[in-house]
Amino acid sequence: MLGPVLYAWLMGLFDALTNNASEIPAAQAQEELGPLLIDGETVRKAYRLVRDLIAFTLPGPSFLSNTYETGTQ
């Protein structure tokens, strides 16, 4: 498990790298990703980048693309 300082540093780095991503509410991402998450996994932060969804979850990060989910490009 990441300590709070390391977690904040990683989130700051991620924000700097993805200036064009928009943050979405964690509850909305949790609802969208519910069937794909393991039991007890919770979304802490989530970002939408065009059609992709990047979610930081506990216990670990997840990267999901709608291309794989829908089968279209």
Domain ranges of the chain: 4-70
Q: Determine the pLDDT at residue 63.
A: 65
Q: Nearest 5°: CA angle at 43, between 5 and 27?
A: 125
Q: Which pLDDT band, with edges at 50, 70 and 90, does 73 fall under?
A: low
Q: Is the pLDDT score of 10 beyond 90?
A: no
With a threshold of 0.75, does the pTM exceed it?
A: no
What tens digit of pLDDT does each residue of 21-53 get?
A: 788 999 998 898 888 888 888 888 888 876 778
Q: Is the pLDDT score of 16 beyond 70?
A: no
Q: Determine the pLDDT at residue 7.
A: 78
How many angstroms separate the first and last alpha carbons of the chain?
35
